[in-house]
Amino acid sequence: MGRKLQGRLIIATHNAGKLWEMQRLLAPHGVDAISAGELGLPEPPETGTTFIANARLKAHAAMTATGLPAFADDSGMCVDALDGAPGVYSADWAGNPRDFGAAMDRVERELLAMGMLGSRASFNSTLIIAWPDGHEAIFEGSVAGALVFPRRGTQGFGYDPIFLPDGESRTFGEMMAEEKNAVPDDDRLPISHRARAFVKLRAACL
């Protein structure tokens, strides 16, 4: 049994899309969540080489700055034909300021050069909660699928318009966020990687 979340929680992100998804997932559980961005906290350099390492960096930075439990996500798209890239560097491929259109163009360009536009891929999410006393909880979720070009849909964010999850006829970019991140009341898996990780977090901490 994991430690239960109580009181205020810092969501350690400056990404508006991720923040909205996390707040929607937490809202039914009465968690008083505020983002690192709203508090004016700086974004720590994401120097880790794994999703766990970067999620840990973000959670611990927010926790140390506020003295409150902090919740962080690190996630990305891993393309089989690109040996798992962009993976943990998914945001880096979008440059600064972020341009995920250019990042998706890069994925398409590299796959086209290899003759593998229909490559398999997965979206992966690692959620970490860090408490001020040093306790930490880690939850992971993933969803497999294929890449489609040209892009389809304008919903979501990041690489959503080119990712077609297994068993679905629409890309993440064609799904409303409420549907993509819905957590079923039965034993069915949620559609998104982040919601799948959250189901594990909910069972342990909420």
> One of 32, 73, 74, 99 is an active-site residue; which one?
74
DSSP-derived secondary structure letter, 135: -
For 16, the token pair is 């508006």
Half-sphere exposure of 121 (CA within 13 A, CB side): 29
Distance separating alpha carbons of residues 101 and 106, to the nearest angstrom:
9
74 is catalytic: yes
Q: How many CA atoms lie within 13 A of 37 on its CB side?
A: 9
Encode burial over 43-66: b for 16+ CB neighbours within 10 A, e otherwise. ebebeeeebeebbbbbbbbbbebb
Active site residues: 74
